[in-house]
Every structure is written in C-alpha cells, then in structure tokens.
C-alpha cells in the first residue's frame, strides 16, 4: 500500500434498500392471549447502489433496480470507474 499516494486510492461500497417492513418474528404477551404487532406489511421494489469514495469525496455512483449482479458491477467498473481514472490520469 505504501507505494500508492492517497490520490490513487478508491474504495467501492454497495448498499441495497427495499420497502419491506422490519418486524420481529416473535413477541410476548400475557398468558392466554396472542401477541399483536400493529403495522402495515409492505413488499416493495429493491434498489442497489454502488459508490466510489476517494480522497476527493464520492466521485462516482450508480443505482440499479434489483440486485447488483456480476454483469452490472463489471459494467459499472469498466464504463464508469476505469473511465474516470483514465480521464483524470
């Protein structure tokens, strides 16, 4: 790592989000009664985001509907990240 300057380093991270309701699978209640959790169950679309963080901040990102597949990730690397580094040389 010591041979690289901070300007040459970039870090990729992926996050995903959907509209599923977070809920516990178990609950407690008084003896003889059912446990009740009020809330609306939502099952929505999934989005995945990938970002490139450098010393200059977040310099590149992409958001896709669904999961980030290998093909989508490689396309993002080749046509965005590598192109950006070649441009800034």
Question: Which residue ranges of the chain lie beneath pLDDT 50?
Answer: none
- Give the residue from 38, 42, 39 showing the smallest Cα distance to 17: 42
pLDDT confidence of residue 29: 77
pLDDT confidence of residue 70: 94
pLDDT confidence of residue 17: 80
Kind and range of the H or E run holding 75: helix 70-76
Handedness of CA 5, 7, 12, 17 (dihedral sign): positive
pLDDT confidence of residue 22: 62
CA-CA distance, 2 to 49, in Å (whole number)? Answer: 30
3-class DSSP state of 11: strand
What radius of gyration do the chain's Cα atoms show?
Answer: 21
């Amino acid at each position: 790592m010591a041979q690289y300057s901070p300007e040459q380093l970039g870090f990729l991270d992926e996050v995903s989000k959907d509209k599923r309701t977070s809920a516990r699978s178990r609950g407690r209640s008084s003896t003889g009664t059912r446990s009740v959790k009020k809330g609306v169950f939502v099952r929505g679309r999934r989005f995945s985001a990938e970002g490139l963080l450098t010393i200059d901040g977040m310099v590149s990102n992409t958001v896709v509907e669904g999961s980030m597949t290998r093909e989508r990730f490689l396309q993002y690397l080749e046509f965005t990240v590598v192109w950006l580094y070649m441009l800034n040389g």
